[in-house]
Amino acid sequence: MSQESTAPGELGDPAVRAAEVPEPGAVTIVVPTFNESANIRELLRRITESVPSRLPCEVVFVDDSTDDTPDVIFREAQDCPFPVTVLHRDEPAGGLGGAVVEGMKAAGSDWIVVMDGDLQHPPSLVPELIGTGERANAGLVVASRYIKGGSRAGLAGGYRIAVSRGATWLTKSLFPRRLRGISDPMSGFFAVRRSAVTAETLQPLGYKILLELAVRSRPRRVAEVPFVFQDRFAGESKSTAREGFRFLRHLAGLRTASPIARMVAFGLIGASGFVPNLAGLWGLTRLGLHYVPAEILANQLGVAWNFLLMEHLLFRERRRHRHWWDRVGRFALLANADLVLRIPLIALLVHELGMGALPATALALVMTFVLRFVGTEALVYLPRRGRKAEGRGTAEEPRPAADGSRTARRTL
């Protein structure tokens, strides 16, 4: 980063003196924004008061706004004593988490601090995050509301507090090893050493980027500092029921990232497909249709059910590898090719062993499970080979983002 270190001024008790932050101690503050124009002026003012006098810094806004937020940033940054960059994304792929990953890729400092643009995360804590990371030789420093000295005071209402606590309990229950030592995995305020994480490995969905980072690319050493969650300075919260569902989908994707966990989830989804399959078979046979054509038709209900669940819960991150119509065709072909094995097996169980059509069908589905799992992974959702990393665009020019959308970069 080109900015020189400036002399430290008067520092409060919780702050870290410049001498306590060993070089290199520069920081890139990444701020994802969505229609936060009313907060920009105050945010930059507080960063100016708290950070550059203690350690060199730059600010990178990754903006998905539909209002005049980029113009406000440009206007308010004119007198800032540090570089300010705006990356405006045409398509907000990955939501807030995707914006943070874009900011990490653009960061030019040894440390990256991620914080919201609504001032619920106090900029005055940035030097302490970096100082704690340097002293502890940590790769990740989390600002936590749930350790001594921290508070969730800025969460408005009992409902949001209950949701936050419930989400924290759920994530720590699902990932006890990965989240060991992190009391607040739902925090959106943290510092990460650039060398400790590879942004390309992150596959965020929604706004809980710390959870994504800790599960997929957790640094070996993690530290925490307490912070008081502040009231929003202006505007309205972006937390919605839709974001809540995206969070649950993200949890499912993270939990099924390993092959064994994916196989278990595949089995559970396949088991849920028994319901439409067997219900269809029961209805068709009750209408007098022979069980063989009835099973062929009923199988299509189970195929459609399983495909929808696997698309949204199990293989969401791999959907981009093939067009939707290609995935549908391959999945349907594989599922129906399964009948080539299953129909003779069902016939054998019915005619030779005297089983009923329903239990014979259920047993055949279980027996062909492993073949269906391997075939689905390899033939429908096979990842593409890794592509060479694309270089950063030049200033003022659109550049391709990780998802292929365009990002306009402007450094002020």
Kindly report, residue by residue over 39-52, the tens digit of the pLDDT: 999 999 999 999 98
Residue 190, amino acid: F
Q: Cα(404)–Cα(94) distance, rounded to whole angstroms? A: 12
Q: What angle do CA 64, 389, 111 make, to 5 degrees?
A: 65
Q: How confident is the model at residue 18 (pLDDT cuts 50, 70, 90)?
A: very low
pLDDT beyond 60 at 392: no
Residue 307, amino acid: F
145 in helix, strand or coil?
Answer: coil
State which H helix or E strand residue 64 sits in. Answer: none
pLDDT value at residue 53: 85
Give me the DSSP letters along 163-192.
HHHHHHHHHHHH-TTTTTT-S-TT-S-EEE
Range ranked top by mean pLDDT from 257-266, 281-290, 304-313: 281-290
Residue 256: CB partners within 8 Å, gap ≥ 6? 262, 264, 265, 313, 314
Tokens 């003779």 sit on residue: 344
Q: Which residue has the higher pLDDT, 407 or 267?
A: 267
- pTM of the complete model: 0.62
285 in helix, strand or coil?
Answer: helix
pLDDT, mean of residues 13-35: 62
Q: How confident is the model at residue 57 (pLDDT cuts 50, 70, 90)?
A: very high
Q: Which residue has the higher pLDDT, 335 or 182?
A: 182
pLDDT value at residue 311: 80
**Residue 128: which of 273, 256, 11, 274 has the closest Cα?**
11
**Residue 335: which of 262, 249, 266 has the closest Cα?**
266
Q: Classify burial at 172, counting beta carbons within 10 Å of its beta carbon; exposed 0-12, middle 13-18, buried 19 or more.
A: middle
Tokens 């930059």 sit on residue: 44
Q: How confident is the model at residue 72 (pLDDT cuts 50, 70, 90)?
A: very high
Domains, the chain, ordered by start = 18-238+388-411 (3.90.550.10), 259-380 (no CATH)
Residue 200, amino acid: E
**Residue 33: which of 314, 289, 226, 235 has the closest Cα?**
235
Q: Cα(390)–Cα(278) distance, rounded to whole angstroms? A: 49
Q: Cα(15)–Cα(125) distance, rounded to whole angstroms? A: 7
Q: Are 145 and 227 in contact (CB under 8 A)?
A: yes
Q: Cα(103)–Cα(97) distance, rounded to whole angstroms? A: 10
Kindly report, residue by residue over 109-132, the tens digit of the pLDDT: 889 999 988 888 999 999 999 999
Lowest-pLDDT choice from 154-168, 235-249, 370-384: 235-249
pLDDT beyond 50 at 387: no
Q: Classify burial at 9, counting beta carbons within 10 Å of its beta carbon; exposed 0-12, middle 13-18, buried 19 or more.
A: exposed
pLDDT value at residue 207: 62
pLDDT, mean of residues 358-370: 79
Q: Are 171 and 252 in contact (CB under 8 A)?
A: no
